[in-house]
Amino acid sequence: MTAAELIAVAAFKSGVFSQAFPAFGVERRGAPVQAFVRFSDEKIRLRSQVYEPDYVIVQDSTLIKDVNVFSGMKKGGIILINTGGDIHGTIPEGVRYIPIDATKLALEVLGVPITNTTLMGAFAAASGEISLEALEEAVRERFSGTLADKNVAASRKAYELIKGGA
Amino acid sequence: MKAILEGSHAVAEAVRLVKPEVISAYPITPQTHIVERLAEMVADGVLESEYICVDSEFSALSACLGASAAGSRVYSATSSQGLLFMAEVVFNVAGMRQPIVMSIANRAVSAPLSIWNDQQDSLCLRDSGWIQLYAEDVQETFDLHLLAYKVAEDHRILLPVFVCFDGFIISHTYEPVDIPEEKDVLAYLPPYVPFNKLDADDPLSMGMYATPEYYMEFRYEIDQAMGRALNVIKQAGKEFKEKFGRDYSELVEAYRLDDAEVAIVAMGSVCGTIKDAIDAMRAEGRKVGLLKIRAFRPFPAEDIKKALAGIRKVGVFEKNVSIGSRMKGAVGYEIKDALSDSSVQVISYVAGLGGRDIRIEDIKKMTDAIEAGNGDCFFGLREELI
């Protein structure tokens, strides 16, 4: 949910309307959870969950065994998966798959395997929907002091990694 | 200031700005984030308020009732089982004419246990004497809290208010919200002036024993005050528009109803999804519109009659079930009554109970059913489970 919130705040700071919400259930750290984000040039009224995402971010690739993370994806969509190796499952035709070892990167920069800001940096680079500056602003609003600095560094590193590889 | 806030935190901001002198609440999903944030504000000195920690919802509203009777502006928040547990005190608050405002993060009731959204909880307390307002989005939820205090504390009214918004769908969603300046809120909502209060130097009693010679007149006066609230809410909404730009001068909101043949009536966050569905159906040439109900108590029957004049068929989206009733939903009866001297067909659809997601496709299917005249039923049942 933190990642969804960060995207929504960053998108808002980039000048569009945004909406972020969890798949309302048990919100325990470590339990499988889903969260959704919409952004639009117009006010967002729709309240249903997202069934046909343009982008999918998978924070833990082991979930792919249990959840169809590709569900509803269409040609031109992008799926960003946090993985250190191969994934189980077949990428749908026309969907761009971007692997990133966000856990390793987060451990290097933050010292903890919490991948929200790393994956957000990667998402900003892969999608072009939010700027790195807006993301940094969102991160600095959410965290303070050295924690904010470290998270900004983590998102920047992931951003550059994806930009460099693209 | 425009910011992206979680619905619950937007509510906490509204409460910070109205500065209640006393807050008492007991945490329950999905209301918890509101009271957590308020407790934080009080602990940090951002909000000067007495936060009374209690052992249950029953105690929470009891503490609020006492504090209000002593002349304080008071706030509470709850959901579902919490509201039901309070029920006895809920009636007492209205009976003693205490203008308490309470947020209801609408949630289904047990059993089976569900933490997810529908509107069964607040609708159960339809006859309690509390004003009931329903919000569509985070902004409206924020705004209605300011408006609620203005109406509740008006000496012509002196009734408590539920500000209802859908649990999780609004309480846990981050979206843009405009938070006004403190001085503007103060200009809209001056400090509370109690009509009367408990005072050792000038003693009085509240909620006394009323013998058969007196009881009915008390109930009559509550109903009269509720009737006056129709206009007082409109005035407060008009003043809100002048001050903050957003219009709440009507108790209902018509969306693309002008040349509509079919109308959907709904309350709360699903109105947003219905508006998108209506735009999609209008693009296909279908003459359909929405009537959103913002105030369920008092019930704006005359406004509804006016807004739905000329409509052939009306379908009511019910996030509640009145078990054993013919129409199945509680709101449908009120709409049917408002339209009783016309030939318009009114049908109810019990939908989205216990958090079942409502999509644009569902609204299109519901519109098909309204056009066909099939209703007064549960909508979207999973037949394989029955």
- Residues B116, A49: C-beta atoms closer than 8 Å: no
For B172, name the nearest residue in chain A, comparing CA atoms only.
A21
Q: What's the gap in Å between the CA of A2 and the closest CA on chain B?
A: 11
- Predicted complex: ipTM over 0.85: yes
Chains A and B form CB pairs within 8 A to the count of 63
Residues of chain B with CATH 3.40.50.920: 252-385
Q: Read off the pLDDT of residues B53-102 as tens digits, 9 standing for 90 and up.
A: 999 999 999 999 999 999 999 999 999 999 999 999 999 999 999 999 99
Q: Which of B6, B275, B357 sits opposite A48 (nearest CB)?
A: B357
Domains of chain A: 2-165 (3.40.920.10)
Instruction: Write the secondary structure of B225-243 as one string of H (helix), E (strand) and C (coil).
Output: HHHHHHHHHHHHHHHHHHH
What pLDDT, on the 0 to 100 scale, is given for residue B108?
98
The partner residues of B4 in beta bridges, in order of sequence, read B176
* Closest to B58 in 3D by CA, of B89, B24, B96: B89
CB-based contact, A51 to chain B, within 8 Å? yes
Which stretches within chain B are classed as H helix? 7-18, 32-44, 57-69, 80-95, 120-124, 138-152, 182-188, 215-244, 270-283, 301-307, 330-338, 360-372
CB of A46 less than 8 A from some CB of B: yes
| pLDDT, tens digit (0-9, with 9 covering 90-100), for A103-158 | 999 999 999 999 999 999 999 999 999 999 999 999 999 999 999 999 999 999 99
Contacts of B32 in chain A (CB under 8 A): none
Q: Which residue of B has its CA nearest to A15?
A: B176
Domain B2-244: CATH superfamily is: Thiamin diphosphate (ThDP)-binding fold, Pyr/PP domains (3.40.50.970)
Look at B359 and A51 and tell me if their CB atoms are within 8 Å. Answer: yes
Residue numbers of A between 85 and 124 with CB closer than 8 Å to B? none
Residues of B in contact with A20 (CB under 8 A): 173-175
Among the CATH numbers 3.40.50.920, 3.40.50.300, 3.40.718.10, 1.20.810.10, which is that of B252-385? 3.40.50.920
Chain B residues with beta carbon closer than 8 angstroms to that of A45: 137, 272-273, 275-276
Please write the tens of the pLDDT for every residue from B132-191: 999 999 999 999 999 999 999 999 999 999 999 999 999 999 999 999 999 999 999 999
H or E element, residue B177: strand B174-178
Residues of chain B with CATH 3.40.50.970: 2-244
Q: Touching check for A9 and chain B: CB below 8 Å?
A: yes
